A and B are shown apart, each in its own frame.
Chain A
Amino acid sequence: MSNEQAPPSRLLVDVTINGGKVTPANQQLQAAVKEQIVIRVNSDAADELHLHSTPEHSFNIEAKPAQSFVFTVDVPGKVDVELHKLNKIIATITVQ
């Protein structure tokens, strides 16, 4: 989602998937509505990243380092960042 007037602040989440283990897990994060949220992934396996925001976002993760996924959340709420195939919650972002 491109945003011409992106606010200067943004939330960066670094995620590592290695041998079926993901870090971080169940992390609690804060963000503002419409703030850019960047998920940076280093992975050794293909997976899917699901953002349980309203509306939802979904990204395909490939087995390679340094992939970035950018999105914003418009409706306040608690958004789970889920790694689908591993069935793990990376973080819950409280967006307000």
Chain B
Amino acid sequence: MTADRSVAVLAHGLGGSTDLPIPLSYALIGAAWALTFTFAVVAVAWRRPRFDPDKPGRALPRWVTTVIDAPATRWVVAIAALLFAVWVAVAAVFGPQGPDNPLPGVFYVLLWVGLVALSLAVGPVWRAISPVRTVHRLLGQWSLGLRYPEWAGYWPAAVGLFAFVWLELASPDPGSLGAIKVWLLVYLVVTLAGALCCGARWCARADPFEVYSVVASRLSVLRRNRDGRIAIGNPFDHLPSLPVRAGTLAVLAVLLGSTAFDSFSATPQWRGFVDDHTDSVATATLLRTAGLVVFAGVVAGTFWLAARTAGGVDAQRRRELPGLMAHSLIPIVIGYVFAHYLTYLVERGQQTVIQLFSLGTDVHYVLSMHPSLLASIKVSCVVAGHIAAVIAAHDRALRLLPAGHQLTGQLAMMLVMVGYTFTGLYLLFGG
């Protein structure tokens, strides 16, 4: 039966219904809070930078770090994750080749959204559970010893993340098991080949999931102090520790732009537009690809321009500003990802786990059954993300910009962030 292949043309390749739009009043209240808070921060908040990535957090007892860093713990976690990956691979190949196959759920929900939730809760976990890293470790960390080119920075990861969202949002059939298998195979081959050429640094810079995990982990309360001890600290001290490399802004722009495009591409206006202007699968794919590029490009372009409008800095500093401000986008990205994918994580996540282990239980649709509660959570996520982003950007501007330019230098950035948040709320409201 070829029918099954299709169940998933829509809704992120998973089928099923999508969230109800949030009510207009919720969107307006959220927008009002975001705007009020933004101006409050710019006008009356502190005038000296408060947050510092070097400020140590409150260290947890030494045994916590000892246990977590113990080779035995590392191996147990890594091997368990590798076995899980093998289990998924077996299910993908030998399981039912239809909508009951758990692969799309594992790929689009557990990996894409679950990884963010996990990294936010406990830190950059992909480093510990990445199947490629584990295989590489089993091979004795062997590598050709080539240098990972410094100029490449996070660009390979940004390309990998774009490839992921392209498959999910622009490709002809995101739910196709074949397409997901090919994607994963290419990912595994490229990442393992990279690790064999450049060592583990390839995984740290070029593995899209590891970079995504690192990005999300910067908003976590758990972190490591300079001496390596695991500590609890203020996430605002943690955020600026995001490594600034070539491609950092591109990574964040792909994440935010694709999530927005996901909402946008479900609007009847966009669907009608695609139907009217394309006459084949290939042209429709091209048009959606262009839409995705435009969304990520607009995020990157507006942020880049806004960061560079600041006055009173020399050319060198001006060039660095977009990268140095990029961490302040993280809360907006995470808030929006949760607003957008929460029901996916909770409800499709349950469904995936049930499929994966052939459990006989039913999915609990608590969130979907309570639309007002769900809408409140979504708006709260977006507004909280916005407020955190504004605070982070404000504090960073105080550190980077010379006195006298700090207030004006922030204005463009604040306006851009308000723009992201209003657009996000508008898209959640349904366009």
Interface residues of A (CB under 8 A from B): 25-28, 48, 50, 52-56, 58, 73, 75-80, 82, 84, 87-89, 92, 94-96
Contacts and interface: CB of A to CB of B under 8 A. Distances in A.
Contacts of B369: 75-76
Which 6 pairs of residues, A with B, have the shortest CB-CB distance?
A77-B17, A54-B16, A26-B268, A78-B18, A79-B17, A75-B365
B429 to A, nearest CB: 13
Interface residues of B, number: 25
A92 B268 contact: yes
A76 B20 contact: yes
A48 B17 CA distance: 18
B19 A54 contact: no
Given A76-B369, A76-B371, A87-B281, A94 B11 contact: no
Counting chain B CB atoms within 10 Å of each CB, the highest count among A55, A80, A84 belongs to A80
Contact of A50 (B6, B272, B281, B371): B6
A82 to B, nearest CB: 6
A79 B3 CA distance: 19
Interface of B: 3, 6-7, 9-11, 15-21, 99, 266, 268, 271-272, 275, 281, 347, 365, 368-369, 371
A15 to B, nearest CB: 16
A58 B19 CA distance: 20
Nearest to B270: A26
A85 B405 CA distance: 60
A53 B272 contact: no
Contacts, number: 76
A77 B19 contact: yes
22 contacts: A26-B268, A48-B6, A50-B15, A52-B17, A54-B17, A56-B7, A58-B7, A75-B17, A75-B365, A76-B369, A77-B16, A77-B19, A77-B20, A78-B17, A78-B21, A82-B9, A82-B10, A84-B3, A87-B281, A88-B275, A89-B10, A94-B20
Counting chain A CB atoms within 10 Å of each CB, the highest count among B19, B20, B99 belongs to B20
A41 B379 CA distance: 39
Given A94-B21, A95-B17, A96-B20, A84 B6 contact: yes
A61 B371 CA distance: 33
Nearest to A77: B17
B268 A56 contact: no
A61 to B, nearest CB: 12
A82 B369 CA distance: 23
A26 B371 CA distance: 23
B16 A52 contact: yes
B6 A56 contact: no
Nearest to A48: B3
Contacts of A88: 275
B17 A73 contact: yes
B431 to A, nearest CB: 11
A64 to B, nearest CB: 19
A76 B368 contact: yes
Given A77-B20, A77-B368, A94-B21, A52 B3 contact: no
Contacts of A73: 17
B343 to A, nearest CB: 8
B371 A56 contact: no
Contacts of A26: 268, 271-272, 275
A50 B5 CA distance: 12
Contacts of A76: 17, 20, 368-369, 371
Contacts of B7: 50, 52, 56, 58
B97 to A, nearest CB: 16
A76 B21 CA distance: 11
Contact of A53 (B16, B20, B266, B271): B16
A27 B21 CA distance: 16
Contacts of B20: 76-78, 94, 96
A44 to B, nearest CB: 20
A49 to B, nearest CB: 11
Contacts of A95: 17
Given A52-B15, A77-B17, A78-B266, 17 more contacts: A48-B6, A52-B7, A52-B11, A53-B17, A54-B365, A55-B16, A56-B7, A56-B15, A56-B99, A75-B17, A76-B369, A78-B18, A78-B21, A80-B10, A80-B11, A82-B10, A84-B9
A88 B266 CA distance: 13
Contacts of A77: 16-20, 368
B373 to A, nearest CB: 12
Counting chain B CB atoms within 10 Å of each CB, the highest count among A56, A77, A78 belongs to A77
Contacts of B10: 52, 80, 82, 89
